[in-house]
Structure 1
Amino acid sequence: MAIDGGGIKGLFSASVLSRIEQGTGKKCGDYFDMIAGTSTGGLIALGIASGKDASKLVDLYKKTESQFSQPLIIEL
């Protein structure tokens, strides 16, 4: 499974995965031999691959939503 990045858009990806888990009664990670993603999709992939429920990832995105709305500026 490949999960796209995009900051808070990860909430949509996590929500879709959560609905799949609710409908099947099984974790998404049980269906895939390889799970990967870019940026926020990589964080979702780590959660799914480590056995976390997708609903927990949805909760995490909702709790940290404000952090995605502010651009991060790093001075070098």
Structure 2
Amino acid sequence: MDPSRIQAMIEAGLPGARAQVEGVDGVHFEATVVASQFAGKLPLARHRLVYATLGELMGGAIHALALRTLTPEEADAGDS
């Protein structure tokens, strides 16, 4: 599995989202996802939104996905 494909799927499934995905072995990945859809949601709900964009790949072609999920406001606050 290619990290750029995962990034494209996340960004397509969460319109307006920005995703950065890394993974060197093709099955274990780390992603930072910034999306307005995360506003007011707890981390588990945010992760479920991301997992939903990847469907059956989770647990199959994607063995593990470590997530950092932020709203745009949270991402901007971290940049300062």
Shorter-normalised TM-score: what interval?
Answer: under 0.3
TM-score normalised by L of structure 1: 0.26
| Greater percentage in strand | 2
Q: Between the two structures, name the one with larger relative contact order (CA 8 Å, sep ≥ 6).
A: 1
TM-score normalised by L of structure 2: 0.25
| Greater percentage in helix | 1
